[in-house]
Amino acid sequence: MAWDFTKDRPIYTQIAEQIKNQIFVGKRNLGDRLPPVRDLAIEAGVNPNTMQRALAQLEQEEIIYAERTNGRFITEDKTMLDKQKKETARLQMNDFLEKMAAIGYDRKATLQLLTTLTKDGE
């Protein structure tokens, strides 16, 4: 029922991330109107106040904006979103490279392995 959350970080930051990812992947489209806080909270299985904090963070990052009477909308700024997507990808990559280093693969080795794997795959 609820979304998955890890135990080490505040839930609201994880919610914000998951919503961002949904936008990146296309589950939510640019310019879409977001459901009301309460409905989102129930969907995610979290406290409405927590969801509120997550949305506030997304507002601060300008991923979403609020129109006083109409509700919250996802930005239409494709360029900015692409930049964010790239930044998120970069962070994920760094994470991955650190993990590989932890098992003894330096960057060169990792790149070699990656090339092999992707050649065999798609």
Partner 1 sequence: MDSILQCQNLTKHYGSTCGLNDLTLDIPRGRIIGLLGPNGSGKTTFIKLCTGLLVPTSGTLTIGGHPIGTETKKIVSYLPEHTYINNWMRVKEMLEFFSDFYKDFNVDKARDMLQNLQIGLDDKLKNMSKGTKEKVQLILVMSREADLYLLDEPIGGVDPAARDYIIKTILTNYQEKASIILSTHLISEIESILDEAILIKQGNLILHDSVDEIREKKGVSLDALFREEFKC
Q: How far is the CB of 87 from partner 1 (least distance, A)?
A: 22
Rounded-to-integer distance, Cα 79 and Cα 88, Å? 14
DSSP 4-61: P--SSS-HHHHHHHHHHHHHHHTSS-TTPBPPPHHHHHHHHTS-HHHHHHHHHHHHHT
- What are the phi and psi torsion angles at 75 (to 5°)? -60, 160
Q: Nearest approach, Cβ of 48 to partner 1 (angstroms)?
A: 5
Closer CB to partner 1, 10 or 71, in the complex: 10
Residue (37 or 100) nearer to partner 1, CB: 37
Q: How far is the CB of 121 from partner 1 (least distance, A)?
A: 35
Q: Which is nearer to partner 1, 8 or 98 (CB)?
A: 8
Binding site for partner 1 (CB under 8 A): 1-2, 5, 7-12, 38, 41-42, 44-50, 53
Nearer to partner 1, 42 or 100 (CB): 42
Q: Which residues contact 96 (CB under 8 A, 6 or more apart)?
A: none
CB 53 to partner 1: min, Å? 7
